[in-house]
Chain A
Amino acid sequence: GENVEQHPSTLSVQEGDSAVIKCTYSDSASNYFPWYKQELGKGPQLIIDIRSNVGEKKDQRIAVTLNKTAKHFSLHITETQPEDSAVYFCAGSLGHDMRFGAGTRLTVKP
């Protein structure tokens, strides 16, 4: 089955700096890669996703890149703000079979 590894486990940046979280996956058949953000006391919420036929996708300050050959994908957050502080999860899936990374705790210092 799919195995998703995520790095780093914790990340601290200064407000305004960029943050990058990286994930690798094992199953080349996986074709959908979402990113979820979990704020304190809440369940994870989808923030951006990318399909395997796309190399990059951007939504305002967040972007995701996918390298199918290397089987890795990354989340990029620019101009970070304190409200970006949360736990972020990457996932790889084929159909409804979705596997999550271990999570990255991002702290944005004002």
Chain B
Amino acid sequence: DVKVTQSSRYLVKRTGEKVFLECVQDMDHENMFWYRQDPGLGLRLIYFSYDVKMKEKGDIPEGYSVSREKKERFSLILESASTNQTSMYLCASLTQGAGANVLTFGAGSRLTVL
């Protein structure tokens, strides 16, 4: 089974701080994703990466950046955290098969910005 590990389950940061959220997958997948989960809004795509050093903006990239220096690791960066970035962040890795693309999610990182 694919395993996706998010290193921080809960973080509390102050406005203006730089925040790193780390995600590691163990299946040599090319495609990795960062989603933000908010009540009533579902899962919204922030960024995805289809290979090392390659990235694409999702629906809500403003205020975020990403880094993919190694295939197994995909990091989400908040350059200057703001209170409206308080949320649950989910990392996912994609298994591409015959007719199906299955996302495996990490357990999530709940970020509170004070």
CB distance B106 to A43 under 8 Å? yes
CB distance A41 to B107 under 8 Å? yes
Q: How many residues of B contact A (CB 8 A)?
A: 25
| A95 with B4, Cβ < 8 A, contacts A43-B107, A44-B43, A89-B43 known | no
Smallest CB separation, A6 vs chain B (Å): 7
Contacts of A101 in B (CB 8 A): 42
Chain B 64-82 per-residue mask, 1 if CB under 8 angstroms from chain A, else 0: 0000000000000000000
CB distance A42 to B31 under 8 Å? no
CB distance A42 to B107 under 8 Å? yes
Q: How many residues of A contact B (CB 8 A)?
A: 25
Smallest CB separation, B12 vs chain A (Å): 18
CB distance A44 to B42 under 8 Å? no
Count CB-based A-B contacts (< 8 Å): 58
Contacts of B24 in A (CB 8 A): none
In the complex, which residues 74-114 of chain B have their Cβ closer than 8 Å to any Cβ of chain A?
90, 92, 94, 96, 99-103, 105-108
Among A45-53, A60-68, A69-77, the one that faces the other chain is: A45-53
Expressed in whole angstroms, the Cα–Cα distance for A7 and B35 within the complex equals: 21
> Which residues of A are in contact with B by a Cβ distance under 8 Å?
1, 4, 6, 9, 32, 34, 36, 41-46, 49, 51, 89, 93, 95-96, 98-103
Provide 18 A-B residue pairs closer than 8 Å at the C-beta atoms, listed in order of the A residue.
A1-B59, A4-B42, A6-B42, A32-B99, A32-B100, A32-B101, A34-B102, A42-B107, A43-B105, A43-B107, A44-B43, A44-B103, A45-B105, A49-B100, A89-B43, A96-B31, A96-B50, A100-B44
